[in-house]
Amino acid sequence: MILFLLACTSSDSPPEYVDREVVEQQSDSAAPTLPDIEQSVAEATMTLAEVVSAIETALLTPPRPRDVTDAYIHLMSLGDEECPGDPENIMDQWVYGCDAATGYSYAGVTDWFTEETEDVGEMGTLMGLAGDFWIDTPTGHQLEGGGHAVTVNAPGMWVGEIAGSWSWTDGPDWIASGYSGNLRQEVFDGGFVRFSGAADILGTHIAGHDLVLPDFCPGKAVGGLSLRDPSGGWYRLDFSDCTHCAEMYFEGTPMGEACIDFAPYLDVMKARL
């Protein structure tokens, strides 16, 4: 029987060889074509004056990490010995939440840290919070965070960095309705104020491209500043040679000269020293 099967499968004709490249080309030609997708181009919906006003309004309420950390450490003190137990950290045993006898609820994981640090030759205090958590109060307010909020204070120096998403419904305006971004601000007395990173401040998306306001030219800047249009495009100003005026561009298209009043922002920031 085995010999019979072998005889049936044998053939006097030579074997056919398949050209792999031809087969692949035929396969490619048979593949369905991808649909054409029309991508809408962002269009400016704001005037020069409206962009300037939006930037100046956002700069009036620059995010302050201490608003987060002060609220956090106060709310942690209002729990009980079991929930959250630790007065500074929410441990991973409470990832899914716990209710304190005081009426406060805690959930998530946090890392609270403070230390003495030396920067630019001066001793200062670093205070910060990192984690992913929420705290509910008996009055219906909530502190919620995911990211980090850090402040460094030293004589003549203040540095604040806040990254991630934060909300404190009983807090100041900039965080009461929610904040998101990655923003670093620095103040050096007799030196400069710096604004770097991007943030959503009261619904206005603003970004500083190493924007520096030197003390030797008060109220003027070097570096870049951008604002997001509701259409998704960005307006941009690039300041040079210490000026408060610059050509404004929308997605690379010039719109005309715009001038920013930085004085109120400088007043707020220097008050943090």
126-161, pLDDT tens digit by residue? 999 999 999 999 999 999 999 999 999 999 999 999
Tell me: pLDDT of 263 over 50: yes
What average pLDDT score do residues 259-264 get?
A: 98
Give yes or no for residue 222 having a pLDDT over 60.
Answer: yes
Supply the pLDDT for residue 4: 36
**Cα 64–chain centre separation:** 14
Q: Is 108 helix (H, G, I), strand (E, B) or coil?
A: strand
* 183-193 pLDDT per residue, tens: 999 999 999 99
Kindly state the average pLDDT of the residues 228-254.
97
Question: What is the average per-residue pLDDT within 18-36?
Answer: 58
Residue type, 265: Y
Q: What percent of the chain has pLDDT over 70?
A: 85
Amino acid type, 97 = G
**Is it the case that residue 10 has pLDDT exceeding 50?**
no
pLDDT tens readout for residues 45-90: 999 999 999 999 999 999 999 999 999 999 999 999 999 999 999 9
Angle between the N-to-C axes of helices 48-59 and 263-270, in degrees from 0 to 180, rounded to the nearest 10 = 10
Q: For the range 171-176, what are the long-range contacts, defined as Cβ-Cβ under 8 Å and sequence gap of 24 or more?
A: 171/67, 171/68, 171/71, 171/143, 172/61, 172/64, 172/67, 173/61, 173/202, 174/61, 174/62, 174/63, 174/64, 174/67, 174/201, 174/202, 175/63, 175/67, 175/68
